[in-house]
Structure 1
Amino acid sequence: MIHIKNIHTCSLILTVSVLMMLISCSNKNGFIEPVSTDMTKPDPITNYRVSNFNGGAYIIYDLPKSNNILYVKAKYYLGDGTDRPAETRSSYFSDTTMVEGFADAKEYEVKLTVVSRANVESEPITVKVKPLTPVYRLIAANLTMVPDFAGVRIEANNEYKKNVGVVFLDDALGGGYSIRQQTVTDFPLISFAVRGYDTIPKVYAAYITDKWGNKSDTIRSTVKPLFEKQLNKGGFKAYQPGDDIMLHATYPISNLFDTLSNGGPNTGSFWHTDNKVGEMPVWCTFTTGTYAKLSRFRLMPRNFDVFTHNNPKLFSLWGTDSERPGPFTPPLFAEEGTKIGEWENLGNFSFNDPLSGAARNAATQADKDEALKGQEFTVRFNAPKVRIIRMVVSETMARTIQGNAADLTFWGDER
């Protein structure tokens, strides 16, 4: 008697064998046969027009009347002479090909050939294009380096929202400039800081690159970084006016600033709001024990369901220079710089979702490990000096009506 399992196994073997025969019949000596046996040389394109853009051009043309055309091939060089060859292909369904990645705003030659289904090429047609100024050069032309806290802030406009690389260099060891940091971005406003420098004027450098390997001239600027220090957590304490939100008795605000014996953040404890709070936002208020212009801070989430619990997702900082500010109920959202009574919005912030791209409820262990290191945020440069801070949570990772966090560390200038 033949078992059903054996019949399935035999069917699988037969199917695989047929597939292998089909594959072997479709190839000869390892080469795929042409899709056509018509070796007639195709006619070239005609009636071409050029539309230039920043760093590239569209070439519009008429295809020859033939059913044997597969694509149009464009060959060109991105730089001078024979520097960095490039090739693009456009289907026979299209009457346009795009060439891009040119290094300069000048004239370039592009050779276009029509390729048949039998891989036979027409005579090439040489088309001259003259791209507008490439985006990487436009960005380099408006790049600036300005003082920031303990470092240098690089800023530039990227109105075309193209992906570019910003390469920052320094001469830290005195042996010539070397790369200190590389940042890739397509943000319309490029703005980031490179920190770790003393308040001594030095010449720093940067240049812009793009995905085709183009590189701008190096921009140099003398910058004197601003003074910055980590604020002493020993001076931080809860400030609980009559309008403060209800707190969980077991998890006070002071848990945000307690430290380990080595001075590091104690992420084993955390602040938590009371479960009787009825609506968002929720907040906590604390005094810094000093009068400081804040530069940046790090928020470390509670080590519990990092992306699916009460950890802050959207939050803001409000500050006041008053030692005894009046009552203040913060809104769910306000623009940065908004003033309400004695308080001013110092900035609005968003904690990263899983960096892997996974949903919050499907975060990988690597996502969680990265989040638990904390995330650093920059306080807007023109924010005022403050004595008392209120962290206002408008949305948690799980959109709950509670809030918690493990640690807050601040940097700034209290002189």
Structure 2
Amino acid sequence: MERIYNTLVLILTFGLSTLSCSEEKFGPILGGGGTPGPVREVRVENLAGGAKISYALPNDENLLYVKAVYSLKGVEVESKASYLTNHLILEGFGDENEREVALYAVSRSEKESSPTTVTIKPLPAPVFSVLQSLDVQETFGGIVVNFENPSAASGSVNSNVVIGTLRWDEELKEWESIDTYYSGLTKDQFAVRGLESVPIRFGIFVKDRWDNHTDTLETELTPIYEEEIAKDRWRDVRGLYPVPQVGALPVSGNPMVEAVDYSGAYPIVRMWDGNVGNFFHTKAGFELPIWVPFDLGESIKLSRYKIWQRSVAGGYFSHGNPHEWEIWGTNTPEDPNSWVMIAHEIMVKPSGLPVGQNSADDRAVAAAGQEYDFALDAPPVRYLAWKQIDNWASIQGEFGFMHVNELSLWGQRN
């Protein structure tokens, strides 16, 4: 028995020493199989900024993928597609020039077929259609830009665009960047704020992830004057005036009620104390919607507002943070029929993730405060009421509550 054991030890020792002394070689896991045949029956569908190339695969059980080799911005690049599909999509072209693409079928042992060459001629890249759709108008404190991006309907992040806004510096005789906006929507809008009410020469351009960019659209506009409204004269007026029964009402048919504070630690004045780190919190279990009126101390033509959510255990976009709401205004709160709706919003989470799941963009947007416009034809008002239709914990629910860290307003004093 001992002789057998010693013999095995010698064999193992010899085997290990042989392996350790041999030269290490790296290569494809599978070395067998021949060179695959080329792809055939190739069809080209030119797309905005790219092309879809369809083909029939060679009949080869060792086929792993199909590779396209082509030039992009003067650099040779490759795109690959698994043997489980029959097409490749090439993207990132910034011009409509014809170019050749070589297709190779590649086996599991990395053996390439002979090339099949096709010619593509990309359609204008998405950035150019976005530029053509730009509609730039003056607004309170700046400009508002509307645009369309039909290519974004594909849902691919490669259709996302970046829109840069420039301002001409007359003294330095050069453009300076004042805003950058990212979008992956088919139809979108953004505003550039905080500008003086003087004629300004603006430049707007569009680019994509491959740094394809358009020429600069130039226009001169004068932002409409606005100022941030001081909060030192705001006060709570709950319980002083009748609650108007207007717009969306409780599904039970019961009258709408005013929301009262959850406790002395979270009073309504925290909604306008200038501290975005604390919050106003109503009691829970109200029939929705609920009414939260307050007095601005003077009649103001309001232009826009910003709210800051409370970050609770589930993060932003959760709990009692507003999901859908209306803002109503009046100068005669004693008359319940005098209130008019001057804003209506449904908050959209940038990522579209379910409640309780937030992306980095979601957290950044909420932490910075979310901005909304009042209706352009809204009359000057002194009294406002936040009408909470639902919250993120009770979307389209019958019962709920509200909390918000801070509310800021902009507009024109009369």
Measured against the shorter chain, the TM-score band is 0.7 to 0.9
Pairwise CA distance, 1:413: 1.9
Q: State percent identity of aligned pairs.
A: 24
Pairwise CA distance, 1:363: 7.8
Q: Contact 1:72–1:112 at 8 Å: present in 2 too? A: yes
Q: Contact 1:170–1:205 at 8 Å: present in 2 too? A: yes
Q: Contact 1:230–1:410 at 8 Å: present in 2 too? A: yes
Q: Contact 1:358–1:364 at 8 Å: present in 2 too? A: no
Q: Is residue 381 of structure 2 the alignment partner of residue 390 of structure 1?
A: no
Summarize deviations over 1:59-94 as a string: whole Å, max 9, x none.
222333333433221112234xxx243311122333
Summarize deviations over 1:377-408 as a string: whole Å, max 9, x none.
22145241331211112223444633233432
Give 1:297's aligned residue.
305
- Match of 1:141, SS state, is helix
Separation in structure 2 between the aligned mates of residue 294 and residue 71 of structure 1, nearest angstrom: 60
Q: Which residue identity does 2:71 align to in structure 1?
A: Y
Q: Which residue identity does 1:312 align to in structure 2?
A: N
Q: Is residue 210 of structure 2 the alignment partner of residue 216 of structure 1?
A: no
Matched length: 366
Separation in structure 2 between the aligned mates of residue 368 and residue 187 of structure 1, nearest angstrom: 20
Q: Is residue 344 of structure 2 the alignment partner of residue 347 of structure 1?
A: yes
Separation in structure 2 between the aligned mates of residue 176 and residue 324 of structure 1, nearest angstrom: 52
Give 1:196's aligned residue.
194
Cα distance, 1:139–1:381 mapped onto 2, change above 3 Å: farther
Q: Contact 1:317–1:389 at 8 Å: present in 2 too? A: no
TM-score, with length taken from structure 1: 0.75
Q: Is residue 104 of structure 2 the alignment partner of residue 113 of structure 1?
A: yes
Give 1:96's aligned residue.
87
Cα distance, 1:94–1:407 mapped onto 2, change above 3 Å: closer
Separation in structure 1 between the aligned mates of residue 62 and residue 149 of structure 2, nearest angstrom: 44
Pairwise CA distance, 1:283: 2.2
- Match of 1:138, SS state, is helix
Q: Which residue identity does 2:258 align to in structure 1?
A: I
Separation in structure 2 between the aligned mates of residue 367 and residue 146 of structure 1, nearest angstrom: 28
- Match of 1:136, SS state, is helix
Please list, as runs of the form range in 1=range in 2, the aligned pairs for 1:168-179 lying within 5 A after superposition.
Answer: 168-172=165-169, 174-179=172-177
Separation in structure 2 between the aligned mates of residue 96 and residue 180 of structure 1, nearest angstrom: 42
Structure 2 stretches lacking a partner, 5+ long? 1-15, 153-158, 244-256
Q: Which residue of 249, 253, 258 corresponds with 1:245?
A: 258
Cα distance, 1:413–1:166 mapped onto 2, change above 3 Å: same
The farther-off stretch of 135-144 and 69-78 is: 69-78
Q: Contact 1:153–1:191 at 8 Å: present in 2 too? A: yes
Summarize deviations over 1:292-349 as a string: whole Å, max 9, x none.
3322223245686575986423142323344236326xxxxxxxxxxxx641241214
TM-score, with length taken from structure 2: 0.75
Q: Contact 1:316–1:391 at 8 Å: present in 2 too? A: yes
Q: Contact 1:319–1:386 at 8 Å: present in 2 too? A: no
Separation in structure 1 between the aligned mates of residue 124 and residue 311 of structure 2, nearest angstrom: 50
Summarize deviations over 1:154-195 as a string: whole Å, max 9, x none.
221123323111122223573522333322211222211122
- Match of 1:60, SS state, is strand
Pairwise CA distance, 1:369: 9.7
- Match of 1:111, SS state, is strand
Separation in structure 2 between the aligned mates of residue 367 and residue 184 of structure 1, nearest angstrom: 14
Cα distance, 1:28–1:202 mapped onto 2, change above 3 Å: farther
Q: Contact 1:307–1:397 at 8 Å: present in 2 too? A: no
Separation in structure 1 between the aligned mates of residue 161 and residue 363 of structure 2, nearest angstrom: 29
Give 1:318's aligned residue.
327
Structure 1 stretches lacking a partner, 5+ long? 1-20, 329-340
Which runs of at least 4 in structure 1 moved beyond 6 Å after TM superposition?
355-358, 362-370
Q: Which residue of 121, 135, 142 corresponds with 2:126?
A: 135
Pairwise CA distance, 1:358: 9.0
Separation in structure 2 between the aligned mates of residue 221 and residue 366 of structure 1, nearest angstrom: 31
Separation in structure 2 between the aligned mates of residue 255 and residue 114 of structure 1, nearest angstrom: 66
Cα distance, 1:366–1:66 mapped onto 2, change above 3 Å: closer
Separation in structure 1 between the aligned mates of residue 189 and residue 132 of structure 2, nearest angstrom: 15
- Match of 1:44, SS state, is coil
Give 1:9's aligned residue.
none
Separation in structure 1 between the aligned mates of residue 37 and residue 68 of structure 2, nearest angstrom: 15
Q: Which residue of 28, 31, 34 corresponds with 1:33?
A: 28
Give 2:9's aligned residue.
none
Pairwise CA distance, 1:49: 1.6
